[in-house]
Amino acid sequence: MDLTGTPMRNQLHIGIFGKRNSGKSTLINALTGNNGLSMPYVADVTTDPVYKTIEIQGIGSCVLIDTAGFDGKGQLSRRDAEGMGLAMERTDVAIIVCAGDDVGQELEWAKEFKLRKAPVIMVINKIDQISNTDKIRNKIYEALKEEPVKISAISRLGIEKVREEIVRCIPEDFEVKRIAGDLVEEGDLVLLVMVRDSQDSQNSQEEQVKQLRLQALCQLLDKGCIVVSCTPDKLGEALTGLTKPPKLIIADSEIFRQVYSKKPGDSLLTSFSVLNSR
């Protein structure tokens, strides 16, 4: 679970791949709006992949994966290679950053992702520093028959185009992996039934329950659902006050049976914890 409490496995994972010093971390800073500078480049230094949760308009919460760079001068250690492999397995959309006319390795990575049926966004970075962007573009287009996105991550040029490409490349089946994604559609009515939080207790379990509720609420709203909520003692009144039965009722696990006994026959019922484990 990441720092926001949203389980990472339910989020779109965007992997950033490229040679060392190609500007991968700077691109992530640009996408996240972070003005912080990355560590100085040292050819023999490699790091584990870094997973950073961000919000992208049109997607919602997603995870950016900043990977160790690859090139012919400094070979990845076994640990770094394993980290890169894991990052590759977790990647739903790959961004491959190019910053020089030797793009052989980048194209090999792109072809590998395509074999895995993962969308690839080719990016030419540092367009304000290098003069042969057309040559790089031609090599990429000849190999992949796709137009790369030209950017300057440090100057924030072309970053909005990268965001647009991410939205365009979201796998068609990704939505069904998200919480309640295949249970409701836009415009459906959803009722959340939740126990009142203890005023005094602040244990980790209660905090986790709060995060599960918040995650479900945010994703339902992102999907365009109509969401209402109540406590279990007000469930009868809430159902009576609705003009139609809710398509879906989501309840805390501890009151599941109580809610089941009162739910309309046509309403689906699940719990926050079950949704989280899907």
Same domain, 189 and 128: no
Determine the Cα–Cα distance for residues 179 and 6; give it in Å rounded to an integer: 11
Q: 56 lies in which domain range?
A: 8-175
Sequence-ordered list of residues with C-beta below 8 angstroms from that of 198, at least 6 positions apart, any chain: 206
Cβ 188 vs Cβ 226: under 8 Å: yes
Same domain, 107 and 156: yes
The whole-number pLDDT of residue 3 equals: 33
Same domain, 190 and 62: no
Q: What share of the chain in percent tops pLDDT 70?
A: 77
- Give residue-wise pLDDT tens across range 69-124: 776 554 555 555 666 777 888 899 999 999 998 999 999 999 999 988 889 999 99
- Give residue-wise pLDDT tens across range 183-220: 788 899 999 999 987 765 566 677 778 888 888 888 88
The whole-number pLDDT of residue 276 equals: 63
What average pLDDT does this structure show over 134-163? 95
Same domain, 122 and 185: no
CATH of the domain at 71: 3.40.50.300
Best CA proximity match to 98, nearest among 122, 66, 132: 122
Q: Is residue 1 part of a domain?
A: no
The whole-number pLDDT of residue 6 equals: 44
Task: Count up the domains in the chain and report the number.
Answer: 2
Domain boundary among 135, 152, 175: 175
Would you call 169 exposed, middle or buried from its count of C-beta atoms within 10 A (0-12, 13-18, 19+)?
A: middle
Confidence of residue 44 (pLDDT cuts 50, 70, 90): very low
Cβ 208 vs Cβ 201: under 8 Å: no
The whole-number pLDDT of residue 42 equals: 37
Same domain, 116 and 168: yes
Domain boundary among 158, 175, 192: 175
